Amino acid sequence: MKENLAVRWWTPVSLRAVASFGWISLMIALFMCAVSWMRGDESGLTTAFMVVIANSVIVFILPEDVPARPVPEKFALFLVSGASMTVFSLSYIIHRADSSVGLTLVDYWTAAPSMLVGAAAVIAASRSSRWFMGKASTEEALNGLARSRKHSGAIIQTAKQIVLIHLGIFAILPPLWTVMLSLSPGNSLSMDFSISTATLEHYEKMWGSERFWGWFWNSIIVSVATTIFGLTIAFPAAYGFSRYRFYGRKIGLFMFLIVQMFPGALILVPYFIVMKGLGLLNTYAGLVVAYSVTALPLCVWLMKGFFDTIPRELEEAARVDGCSQMQIFSRIIFPLSLPAVAVTCLFSFLAAWNEYLLALTFLSDTDRYTLPVGLASMVSSAQAGDSYWGDFAAASILISIPVVLLFITFQRYLVDGMVAGAVKG
Amino acid sequence: MKGRTAGITAATLLALLLLSSTTAQATPPPVSEVSIDGDVDLNNRVRYAFQTVPESVKYDIYYSDESFNNLSEIVPTASSVSGFPDAWIFVSEDPADDPSIQETLKFFRCWWSPTIIPETLATDFQVEEGWFEPTFSTGMPVIPPDATSVVCDLPGIVRGQEVYVATVAIDEDGTSVTEGLEVLSAITTAESERPPDPDMTRVYIAIGVIVGGLSLTAIVLYFLSPSRRERSGYLFVLPAILLLATLTFYPVGYGIYLSFTDESAENYGEGEFVGLDNYELLFSDERDYDGDGDPGFWRTFTFTLIWTFGCVIMHMLLGVLFAMLLESGIIGKVAWRTILLIPWAVPGYISVIMWRGMLNRFGWVNGILTSDIDYLGLDSWAKFSVIFVNIWMGFSFMTMTTSGALAGIPRDMYEAANIDGVGRYHRFRHLTLPQLMPALVPLSLLGMIWTFNLFHVIFLMTGGGPDRFYGEPGVTDILVTFVYDVAFIDGEYGLGAAWSVIIFLMLIVFSTAYLVVTKAGEVDG
Amino acid sequence: MAEVGFDGVWKEYDSDSVAVKDLTIHVESGEFVVLVGPSGCGKTTSLRMLAGLEEITEGNISIDGVVVNDLPPKARGIGMVFQSYALYPHMNVERNLSFGLRMQKGAERLDKEEIENRVSDAAELLGLTEYLDRLPKNLSGGQRQRVALGRALVRQPEVLLMDEPLSNLDAKLRNQMRIELRRLHEELGTTTIYVTHDQIEAMTLADRIVIMNEGRMQQFSTPLEAYHHPSNTFVASFLGTPPMNLVEGNMSEGVFVATDSDAGEKPFTMKMPSHYSSFEGECTLGFRPENTALKIGDNNGNFEIAGFESLGSETIVHLDHPGIRISAVWHRPGPEANRQIMDRTSNVRVEIDESDMRLFDSEGNAVKEV
C-alpha cells in the first residue's frame, strides 16, 4: 500500500456535490432553452444556450479521482464555467424582467438552479485549488475522505429528492390543473384560479345533474356485471387449463395468447355486426359480454398461473372426503387464490369502467351512455369551445378519485399481476 | 361523386329542430336555434345553409349554448374563445392570393352554389348539379364571390344540448355586414355509423356453426378422451372458448372476409366479392386526393412508426431511469411511488381531454410559459403533443413494473462489484441491464403492439387532425384512427377491413421478427 | 502482503443493538486468521467493516499501517469471497473473473494481455480452466465457490476476505475445499481473514483464531493454544467435540468441591494441582473428555454411566454424578470395557491428569496458573 493512498482516492465532496447537482441544473437549463425558443425569445435563447454550455463543462470535466498530474487548465475551466453560469443566468433574469410579460414563476425556476450551481462551483473550485494541482497533503485527504463519508449521503439524498419533486410535479400537473379548473367560476378554458374566487358550483351542478348520475349508474352496472360475468367464465376455464391435461389444451392456451394481439379498433365493424346479430347492441348485456371477452385472456392467464401453485393434494384429500366439485371450488380453490381473484376482479372492473371506444360504438341512446362516452360528449371535438370545461373538470375529479384510490390501495397486486402476465406472456 | 357523400345516405333519426330566422336589417344578426337530440354522428355535425351577401370577404360562424342577443356580445368575444369564430369561409377570386390565412381551423365541409338557394335541407343532401366544393387553401374553404348560397357541415356540436348558430359576414373594411344574409335552414346530418338492419341470417348461421361446431368437437373429444379424469377439462374450458371464438375469432374472420368485398354503408348487406380490389385501392392513386403521390397510406404508416417507437422508447427509458431512482434508497419511497402512480391511475380518456385543454392555444401551458403556440393546431407541434401526452400517460406503468423487476435482482452481486471497484454506469450497463432484459423484452413488445393500435389518445386529442385536405389522413392520424375514419365516417367497410388486415399482418411480422432478434440476442449475450 | 489492524472498533446499529464491541486485534502480514463464533457474534460484521461494506461507528481499521475507515472498498486492496458467492449470473466464468479487471479505468487500467494472464493463472490455480465458458447456473456448488475465490484472487489483493465460503457445500466437499484453501494459502501467502461458525474449519485452517461471542472478542491466539488453554468458559465449550466438561463448584484449600451435587455426603471432589491451589472461592473446573480416564467398577467412583455413543474408532461415554453430567471419550475400548459400558455400570471413577485440568473463576475467566 502506498502512503498517499488516501490522496489517491479523494475527491473533495464539494466538487462532487457540484457535479451531481450540476446534472439537475443542466436539465433545467435545457428546459430554459426550450422555453425561450417556444416564446420566440431569441436573445433569451442565446443566453440560455450559453448557460447550457457552461453547465455542460462543469458536469463533464470533473476528473473522477485525483488527477494523475496537476491540471490547472481544468481548474481554470471549472472556475470560468461556474462564473459564466451565474452571470448568464443573471442576465437571463434581467432580460426577462425587461420583457413585456415580466418575470414569471417559470423564469425563476429555470434560472435559479444555474445561478446557484454556478456560484457553488466557483466557491468549491477555489477551495480545492490544491487538489487540482495534485498538491493535497495526506492529512487533507484523510479529512476530506472523512467529510465525504459524513456528508455525501445527505447530498445525494437531497439531489434525489429534488429530482423526485420535479418528477412528482410532472406527474400531477394535469390532475392539479383539473382540480383548479373545477373550482374556478365560469366554464371557460382560460381560467383564473385563486383561493378567494374558488367555487363549488361545478361540483354542485354535476352532483345534481341527472345526466351525470345516469352515466354513472350505467357504468357501475356494466362494470360490476363485467366483473361477475368475466369471473364466472374465466374461473372455471383457468381451473380447467391448470388441472387437466386434455387434448387441445395447448391449442386452447395458445388461442388465448394470440387473442391479446387483436386490437379492438381493428375488428370494430365485424364486432358491431355480430353484436347486432345477437341483438345485443345498445344494451348493457352487449357491453358486458364485449368487455368480458376483452379481459378474458388476461384473467385466465393470471388465475391459471396462480392455480398452478396450489398443490393438488389438497383437492385430492377433499375428494377422498367426499366433496363435490362445487364444494372444492368454493372451499378450497377460491379462498386460496383470493389474491389472484382480487386482481382479476380489479382489472376487469377498471377495464370496463374506463373503456371508451366500444361504448362509443355500441351505444346509441344517450341515456345508456357510460361515463367515458358521456363525459367525452360534453367536450366533443370543438377546438376551443369553452362551454363545459368547468363542469367537465368537476366530473373528471368525481370520477377519478375513486379510481385513483382503488389503484393506490391495490397497487402492489396490480404491478405483480402485470409483471407476472407480461413475463409469462 | 365520391363515396363520401354515400355516408350521408345512411339511415338517420331525425332530430327536432327549431328554426327561426330574421331578416338581417340591423343587429341582431340572423340566428338559428338548433337543438341536437338523439342520434348524432360521431363528429357531431350540423348541416347549415345560409344565403350569401355580396361584397363580403369572409363569413364567420359562431356557436353558443346561449342565445345571441346582441351581436356585440359575440364579436369579438364569441362563445368560442376570445374572438375566434368556430368556423369560417373565405371569399376570394383567387384563393392562392390570400395572405391572411395563417391560422388553422377544424376542418369542415361545405358547398356553394351560384344558382341554387335551398329552402330546406334533406338529410340526404346530395352534391348534385349546381353545387360545387370550394377550393382549399391550407385547409380553409374558399368560395368565389359569385356564390349565392352556402351549405356547410358544422363540426363540434355537442350532443344533447341546444345550440345557437350565428353567421356574420365581414366586408373589406372588417366591419360586419348582416344585411341580406339569411339563414336558410339547419338540420343535423346525423351520419350514423349504424347500418340499417340487413339480412342477419348470414350472421346467425355463422355463429351457429361456430358454437355448434366447437361444442360438437368438445363433446367428441370428451368421449374419445383416453383419460376419464382429464376429460373434465373440456367442460370447464368450453364456455370461455365459445365466448372467445364467437366474439373474437369470428369477427376477425369476418373482417378478413369483408376485406375482399366492396361492402359499404351504401350497399350494406349486398357487398360482392371483389378479390384484391380493396388492397389495390389502398395503394393506388385513386385515393391520392392532395396529389402528393401518396394515397395516404405511407404518410400514416410513417407517423404510426414514429409514434410507436417514440412513445415506447421514451416509456422504457423513463421507466427504467425512474425505477432505478425509486429503488436507490430514497426517503419516502412509498409516498413517491403513490404520486408517480397517478398518471396511470387516472382514467385514460380523462387524461387525454385534460391535456387537450391544457395544450389549447389559450390553455394553461401557454399561460405558464407565456408562449403562444397552438400545440394541437400546428403540424409538428401536434405530432409532438400527441406523443408527449402518451408518454405522460404511460411512463408510470413502466416505472412500476421495472421497479418490481429491479427488486428481484440479487443484492450481493452489487457488493461484489463494489469491491471490484466497478463504477455506477458500468454497474448499470453490465449488471442491472442484463438482469432486466427478461422482463423488459416482453414488456416492450407488448408496449409496441399496444401503442401501435392505441386509439383513444389520438382520437380524443386531435381526432387525427389537424386535417389538411379532405379525404387524406390528418397530420396526426395513425393507421387505426384513419381506418376508423374510412370505415365509420366514410362508411367504406370493405376498404376499412382491408386496412385492418394489413395492420394486423404488419404486427404479426413485426412481433415475430422482434422475438427472433431478442431471443437471438439472449443466446449471444 | 499486508498487515491488518482493528483498533477499538465498535459497530452500533441503533442505541439498542451493538454488533461489535471494542474489537482490537493485529494480524501479521501473510497470516491466516479465522474469526469464529456462533451466529450473531459480530464476525461477519467485522469482516464487512474491514471490506468497507459497513460503516465503522467507532475505532479504526488499518491495512498495512494506513487507516482505511473512509476509503471506498476498491481502494483498500482487498478481495472478498461472499457466502452466497455473488457471481454475475449472466456472465460465464471467464467474464466473471475478468469483469472487475476490465472495468478499471484511469491509473488503474490494465491492458488486455495482463487481464488474460491473471485470469488464466487464477483458473489454473483453482482448476477452472475447462469451465471458462460455462455460466454459473451450469456449475456445481464447489465450482461456483472456486469461481468466487478466483474472482477475488485476480485482483491480486493485499488482504483476502472470506465470509463463510464453505457453508453452502456438503460435508465431503467441505473437507476437500479446506485442504484446497490451505494449499492455496501456502502457495500465495496472502494475508487472509476468514469468517466461519464451524470450529473445525477454524482449527484446521487458521494460523491464529479470533473467537467472538455477542460482539466481543473472547480469545485471540493459535488454535491449539485456544484449545488447550481457553481464556474463558465460552471458548472452552466452543472448541472441541464433544465440548470440554465444565463443572461448577468451590475451591477451598486446594480442593475442588462441585456444587449442585445432590450427592449429599459424597460430592464430587478433585484435588487441584499446585498451580491452582492458591485459588479460593467459586470457580468452574474444566477438563476435556478425551483427557478423562474411566475406572469402571471402582468402589471410590460415584459416577454412573448414563449413555454412550459408539463411533467405531472411539466411544463417547456420558456419565452422571448426582447433579453433574460429564462426557468422556474412550479410544478403542476393548470388548470387556464395551460390555461394561453397555451394562451401564455405576461406580465409575473419573481420573484426570493434573496438566489437563483447567480452572475458571466465578466470571468464567481462566485462572492463571501460578
Q: Look at B293-297, B322-326, C55-59 and tell me which has the smallest mean pLDDT.
A: B293-297
CB atoms within 10 A of CB B370: 19
C64–chain A Cβ distance below 8 A for any pair: yes
Q: Look at A343-352, C140-149, C209-218 and tell me which has the smallest mean pLDDT.
A: A343-352
Q: Are C228 and C260 in contact, with CB atoms under 8 Å apart?
A: no
Per-domain residue ranges of chain A? 5-174, 210-424
Residues B381, C191: Cα–Cα separation, whole Å: 66
Q: Mean pLDDT across the stretch B428-436? A: 89
Q: Tell me: cis bond preceding B410? Omega within 30 of 0 counts.
A: no
The CATH architecture of the domain made up of A210-424 is Orthogonal Bundle (1.10)
- Does the structure show a pLDDT above 50 at B129? yes
CA A386 to chain centre: 28
Q: Which residues of C touch B413 (CB under 8 A)?
A: 86-89
Which residues does A198 contact at the CB level (< 8 Å), separation at least 6?
Answer: A183, A184
Element (H, E) at C228: helix C223-228
Burial class (CB in 10 A: 0-12, 13-18, 19+), B290: middle
Confidence of residue B227 (pLDDT cuts 50, 70, 90): confident
Specify the higher pLDDT residue, B37 or B250. Answer: B250
Q: What is the mean pLDDT of chain C?
A: 87
Q: What is the mean pLDDT of chain B?
A: 73
**C105–A68: do the CB atoms touch at under 8 Å?**
no
Q: What are phi and psi of B58, to 5 degrees?
A: -155, 145
Q: Which of B449, B428, B434 is nearest to B515 (CA)?
A: B449
pLDDT at A331: 78
Residue pLDDT, tens place only, C129-157:
888 888 998 998 889 999 999 999 998 89
- Does the structure show a pLDDT above 90 at C224? yes
C-alpha cell, C227: 484449545
Specify the higher pLDDT residue, C74 or C369. Answer: C74
pLDDT at B39: 47
Residue pLDDT, tens place only, A63-82:
666 666 777 888 888 888 88
**B345–A407: do the CB atoms touch at under 8 Å?**
yes
Q: Mean pLDDT across the stretch C210-236? A: 92
Q: Are C179 and C209 in contact, with CB atoms under 8 Å apart?
A: no
Q: Are A22 and A55 in contact, with CB atoms under 8 Å apart?
A: yes
Which of 134-153 (B) contact A at CB < 8 A? none
Q: Are B96 and B137 in contact, with CB atoms under 8 Å apart?
A: yes
pLDDT at C334: 75
Of C78, C88, C104, the CB nearest to B419: C78
Q: What is the mean pLDDT of chain A?
A: 81
C-alpha cell, B39: 342520434
Alpha-carbon distances of A367 from A389, B12, C113, C176, rounded to whole Å: 21, 18, 78, 81
Q: Which residues of A touch B488 (CB under 8 A)?
A: 268-269, 361
Would you list which residues of chain A are within 8 Å, Cβ to Cβ, of chain C?
A: 1, 3, 5-6, 8-9, 64-65, 68, 142, 145-146, 148-149
C-alpha cell, C272: 487441584
Residues A282, A367: Cα–Cα separation, whole Å: 10
Specify the higher pLDDT residue, A144 or B81. Answer: A144
Which residues does A80 contact at the CB level (< 8 Å), separation at least 6?
Answer: none
Q: Cα–Cα–Cα angle for B151, B114, B49, nearest 5°?
A: 15
- Does the structure show a pLDDT above 70 at B122? no
- Does the structure show a pLDDT above 60 at B80? no
How many residues are given for chain C?
A: 370
Q: Mean pLDDT across the stretch A330-339? A: 79
Q: Look at A385-399, B19-33, B426-440, C101-115 and tell me which has the smallest mean pLDDT.
A: B19-33
Strand ranges inside chain C, DSSP E? 4-12, 18-27, 32-36, 58-63, 66-67, 78-81, 159-163, 191-196, 208-213, 216-221, 245-252, 255-258, 269-271, 281-287, 292-296, 304-310, 314-321, 324-331, 348-352, 358-361
Q: Tell me: cis bond preceding B28? Omega within 30 of 0 counts.
A: yes
The CA dihedral of B428, A169, A178, B334, to the nearest 10 degrees, is 70
Q: Residue type at C344?
A: R
**C73–B418: do the CB atoms touch at under 8 Å?**
yes
Residues A276, A291: Cα–Cα separation, whole Å: 16
Residues A302, A340: Cα–Cα separation, whole Å: 7
Confidence of residue B395 (pLDDT cuts 50, 70, 90): very high
CA B395, B396, B397, B403 dihedral sign is positive
Confidence of residue C251 (pLDDT cuts 50, 70, 90): confident
pLDDT at B267: 64
**C75–A3: do the CB atoms touch at under 8 Å?**
no
B381: nearest CA partner in chain A: A38
Q: Look at A393-407, B286-300, B501-515 and tell me which has the smallest mean pLDDT.
A: B286-300
**Local structure of residue C230 (DSSP, 8 states):** -
Where are the alpha helices (H) located in A310-382, listed in sequence order?
312-320, 325-328, 334-336, 338-354, 357-362, 371-379
Specify the higher pLDDT residue, B489 or B103. Answer: B489
pLDDT at A132: 80
Q: Are B27 and B71 in contact, with CB atoms under 8 Å apart?
A: yes
**A177–B80: do the CB atoms touch at under 8 Å?**
no
CA B190 to chain centre: 19
- Does the structure show a pLDDT above 80 at C203? yes
Ordered by where they begin, the domains of chain C are 4-237 (3.40.50.300), 243-361 (2.40.50.140)
C75: nearest CA partner in chain A: A9
**C107–A149: do the CB atoms touch at under 8 Å?**
no
Residues B521, B516: Cα–Cα separation, whole Å: 8
Q: Residue type at B72?
A: S
| Range among B87-101, B414-428, C28-42 with highest mean pLDDT value | C28-42
pLDDT at B110: 78
pLDDT at B27: 41
Q: Look at A128-142, B346-360, C7-21, C127-141 and tell me which has the smallest mean pLDDT.
A: A128-142
- Does the structure show a pLDDT above 60 at B100? no
Residues A221, A213: Cα–Cα separation, whole Å: 12
CA C110 to chain centre: 38
**Local structure of residue C232 (DSSP, 8 states):** B
Query: Using H for helix, E for strand and C for coil, what is the string for A244-312?
Result: CCCCCHHHHHHHHHHHCCCCHHHHHHHHHHHHHHCCCCCCHHHHHHHHHHHHHHHHHHHHHHHHHCCCH
Q: Which residues of A touch C106 (CB under 8 A)?
A: 64-65, 68
Element (H, E) at A243: helix A210-243
Q: Look at A263-267, B75-79, C342-346 and tell me which has the smallest mean pLDDT.
A: B75-79
pLDDT at B2: 30
Q: Mean pLDDT across the stretch B332-336? A: 88
C-alpha cell, B82: 376570445
Q: Which residues of B touch A403 (CB under 8 A)?
A: 345-347
pLDDT at B280: 80
pLDDT at C149: 92
Q: Residue type at A266?
A: L
In the beta sheet, which residues pair with residue C309? C316
Confidence of residue C222 (pLDDT cuts 50, 70, 90): very high
User: What are the start and end residues of each CATH 1.10.3720.10 domain in chain B?
Assistant: 297-524
pLDDT at B230: 72
ipTM of the complex: 0.85
C102: nearest CA partner in chain B: B422
B216–chain A Cβ distance below 8 A for any pair: no
- Does the structure show a pLDDT above 60 at A400? yes
pLDDT at A313: 84
Residues A388, C63: Cα–Cα separation, whole Å: 74
**B347–A399: do the CB atoms touch at under 8 Å?**
yes
Element (H, E) at B33: strand B31-35
pLDDT at C260: 67
In the beta sheet, which residues pair with residue C256? C251, C270
Q: Which residues of A touch C52 (CB under 8 A)?
A: none
pLDDT at B64: 67
CB atoms within 10 A of CB C134: 15
Alpha-carbon distances of C343 from C61, C335, C348, rounded to whole Å: 58, 12, 12
pLDDT at A374: 82
pLDDT at B15: 22
pLDDT at B138: 57
pLDDT at B198: 57
Helix/strand/coil for C204 = helix
Alpha-carbon distances of B91 from B134, B139, B502, C184, C332, rounded to whole Å: 10, 14, 42, 96, 122
Residues B165, B80: Cα–Cα separation, whole Å: 12
Q: Mean pLDDT across the stretch A28-50? A: 89
- Does the structure show a pLDDT above 70 at A222? yes
- Does the structure show a pLDDT above 70 at C358? yes
Between strands C32-36 and C208-213, the pairing is: parallel
Q: What are phi and psi of C36, to 5 degrees?
A: -130, 150
- Does the structure show a pLDDT above 50 at A382? no
pLDDT at B5: 30
- Does the structure show a pLDDT above 70 at B13? no
Does the domain formed by B297-524 have CATH 1.10.3720.10?
yes
Specify the higher pLDDT residue, C226 or B279. Answer: C226
CA B199 to chain centre: 30
Residues B34, A62: Cα–Cα separation, whole Å: 70
Q: Which of B510, B498, B399 is nearest to B448 (CA)?
A: B510
Measure in Å the smallest separation between the Cα of C70 and chain A Cα atoms. Answer: 6
Confidence of residue B468 (pLDDT cuts 50, 70, 90): low
**B368–A425: do the CB atoms touch at under 8 Å?**
no
pLDDT at B293: 65
pLDDT at C261: 60
Where are the alpha helices (H) located in A40-137, listed in sequence order?
42-61, 72-98, 105-127, 129-132
Alpha-carbon distances of C192 from C31, C33, C185, rounded to whole Å: 6, 6, 8
**C89–B413: do the CB atoms touch at under 8 Å?**
yes
- Does the structure show a pLDDT above 90 at C24? yes
Q: What are phi and psi of B151, to 5 degrees?
A: -120, 130
Q: Mean pLDDT across the stretch B193-214? A: 70
Between strands B149-154 and B46-51, the pairing is: antiparallel
Residue pLDDT, tens place only, B135-145:
766 556 788 88
Between strands B87-91 and B56-64, the pairing is: antiparallel
Residue pLDDT, tens place only, C280-333:
888 888 889 888 888 777 777 778 888 888 887 888 888 888 778 888 888 877
**A190–B81: do the CB atoms touch at under 8 Å?**
yes
Specify the higher pLDDT residue, C165 or A325. Answer: C165
Residues B254, A368: Cα–Cα separation, whole Å: 28
pLDDT at C80: 93
**Local structure of residue A400 (DSSP, 8 states):** H
pLDDT at B82: 33
**Residue B477 CB-half CA count within 13 A:** 24
Confidence of residue B310 (pLDDT cuts 50, 70, 90): very high
CA B15, B16, B21, B27 dihedral sign is negative
Q: Which of C301, C28, C288, C42 is nearest to C158 (CA)?
A: C28
Residue pLDDT, tens place only, A127-152:
888 788 777 777 777 788 888 888 88
C-alpha cell, A358: 366500444
